[in-house]
């Protein structure tokens, strides 16, 4: 069933959510259920067939809560090849290449009060988090959900049901551009100001997320209570032959080294090994003492048979993110983590090289 690190999953059902969005429900073979365990808010990377390139890789957030099946929701975008192909062609019984769940947009505690902010199809991971927290947590939850108009509201019925079943804990607030216009910065700030002490998760179009983050910063909400999902557009092909990908990366690494030698390093010079590295992953501990710290951490771990998560391998998603517990790591390329993520010790292991002779990281963040 598995091809390298990807798996062929059968589509059990396609659920039409709106005129522009479908949920794709997957059948997970019983032998792979541990591989496809996920945390609420995580995403799957799908390999969508393409005449030109064979497969294009696209990441879509999981809409179901853990324990209630595995489904992603895909909204058609104007120029999006993969989202249109899924909406127009995919049907029950088809199979797709899929990478295991990954991502760090997931609450650490289900018992805190959660302010979940969604724009358009950004509601997908929000739905997974809300349903899971309602079932397993004790905090209050507010979902603020902005859409163009009533017809573009995904999960309208489900949200109504959840709110009716949990009146003490869940409040759903819809914002329709067709009725209220786009929310202004002042309106958002006034709304968010009511949720002092809550932990926020925000997913939606980039301008929406930016406005929310700016307002939260102005309200001095600390970093650990502000989370946002990044839009993921994968340039690389994680479904390609792994040997080929590694060979291509070795060439890139050599080019990087040459650049560094000329004194124009993208990242800081790495330790030329041997580096001692300890890794926590899925409840297991691994330790090695022979990492040439110039090699990317993900490549090194794979060479040791460690199944570390990844998707794009190019620093464009966060599938491979780990957190530094000891030592330090630089990155060759980073298109996704922000300054605050770096300050928190988060690094992309597909791009990470050692800056110290001992490094300890966890993937269990």
Residues that bind ligand FES (CB under 6 A): 310-313, 315-320, 348, 350
In eight-state DSSP terms, residue 285 is E
Q: Is the peptide bond before 274 cis (omega within 30 degrees of 0)?
A: yes
Task: Pick between residue 162 and residue 312 the one whose CB is nearest to ligand FES.
Answer: 312
Least Cβ distance, residue 160 to ligand FES (angstroms): 36
For the chain, how are helix, strand and coil distributed in percent, rounded to 5? 30, 30, 40
Least Cβ distance, residue 43 to ligand FES (angstroms): 11
Least Cβ distance, residue 56 to ligand FES (angstroms): 15
Least Cβ distance, residue 232 to ligand FES (angstroms): 8
Task: Pick between residue 188 and residue 312 the one whose CB is nearest to ligand FES.
Answer: 312
The encoded tokens of residue 334 equal 């980073």
Task: Pick between residue 21 and residue 44 the one whose CB is nearest to ligand FES.
Answer: 44
CA–CA gap between residue 156 and residue 144 (Å, rounded): 12
Least Cβ distance, residue 319 to ligand FES (angstroms): 5
Task: Pick between residue 93 and residue 235 the one whose CB is nearest to ligand FES.
Answer: 235
Contact 106, 135 (CB under 8 A): no
Task: Pick between residue 43 and residue 310 the one whose CB is nearest to ligand FES.
Answer: 310
Task: Pick between residue 115 and residue 312 the one whose CB is nearest to ligand FES.
Answer: 312
Least Cβ distance, residue 330 to ligand FES (angstroms): 14
Least Cβ distance, residue 15 to ligand FES (angstroms): 28
Task: Pick between residue 312 and residue 346 the one whose CB is nearest to ligand FES.
Answer: 312
Q: How far is CA 338 from CA 46, 222, 318, 345, in A?
A: 25, 15, 11, 11
Q: Which residues pair with 331 in a beta bridge?
A: 352
**At which residue do the structure tokens 């993900």 appear?**
298
Q: Which long-range CB contacts under 8 A does 86-93 form with residues at least 24 apart?
A: 86/22, 86/24, 86/46, 86/48, 87/20, 87/21, 87/22, 90/11, 90/14, 90/22, 90/24, 91/11, 91/14, 92/11, 92/12, 92/13, 92/14, 93/10, 93/11
- Of the candidates 8, 132, 120, the one whose C-alpha atom is nearest the C-alpha of residue 74 is 120
Longest CA–CA span in the chain (Å) reads 64
Task: Pick between residue 13 and residue 335 the one whose CB is nearest to ligand FES.
Answer: 335
Least Cβ distance, residue 365 to ligand FES (angstroms): 14
**At which residue do the structure tokens 């957030």 appear?**
61
Least Cβ distance, residue 299 to ligand FES (angstroms): 11
Task: Pick between residue 57 and residue 221 the one whose CB is nearest to ligand FES.
Answer: 57
CA–CA gap between residue 1 and residue 158 (Å, rounded): 33
- Of the candidates 228, 224, 183, the one whose C-alpha atom is nearest the C-alpha of residue 209 is 228
């Amino acid at each position: 069933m598995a091809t390298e690190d990807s798996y062929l999953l059968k589509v059990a059902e396609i659920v039409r959510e709106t005129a522009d969005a479908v949920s794709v429900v997957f059948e997970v073979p019983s032998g792979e259920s541990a591989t496809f365990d996920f945390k609420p808010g995580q995403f799957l990377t799908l390999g969508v067939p393409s005449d030109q390139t064979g497969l294009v890789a696209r990441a879509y957030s999981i809409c179901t809560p853990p324990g209630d099946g595995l489904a992603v929701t895909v909204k058609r975008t104007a120029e999006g090849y993969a989202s249109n192909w899924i909406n127009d062609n995919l049907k029950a019984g088809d199979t797709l290449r899929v990478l295991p769940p990954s991502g760090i947009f997931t609450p650490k505690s289900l018992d805190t009060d959660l302010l979940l902010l969604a724009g358009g199809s950004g509601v997908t991971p929000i739905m997974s988090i809300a349903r899971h927290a309602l079932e397993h947590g004790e905090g209050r939850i507010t979902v603020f959900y902005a859409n163009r108009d009533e017809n573009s509201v995904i999960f309208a019925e489900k949200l109504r049901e959840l709110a009716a079943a949990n009146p003490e804990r869940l409040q759903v607030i819809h914002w329709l551009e067709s009725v209220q216009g786009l929310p202004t910065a002042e309106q958002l700030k006034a709304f968010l100001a009511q949720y002092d002490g809550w932990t926020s998760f925000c997913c939606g179009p980039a301008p929406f997320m930016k406005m929310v983050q700016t307002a939260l910063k102005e309200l001095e909400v600390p970093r650990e209570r502000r989370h946002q999902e990044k839009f993921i557009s994968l340039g690389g092909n994680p479904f390609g032959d792994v040997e080929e990908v590694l060979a291509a990366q070795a060439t890139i690494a050599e080019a990087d080294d040459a650049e560094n030698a000329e004194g124009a390093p993208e990242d800081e010079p790495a330790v030329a090994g041997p580096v001692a590295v300890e890794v926590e992953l899925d409840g297991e501990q691994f330790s090695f003492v022979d990492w040439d710290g110039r090699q990317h951490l993900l490549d090194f771990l794979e060479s040791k048979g460690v199944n570390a998560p990844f998707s794009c391998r190019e620093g464009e998603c966060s599938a491979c993110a780990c957190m530094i517990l000891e030592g330090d790591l630089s990155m060759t390329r980073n298109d996704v983590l922000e300054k605050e993520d770096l300050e928190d010790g988060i690094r992309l292991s597909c791009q990470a090289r050692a800056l110290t002779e001992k490094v300890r990281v966890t993937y269990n963040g």
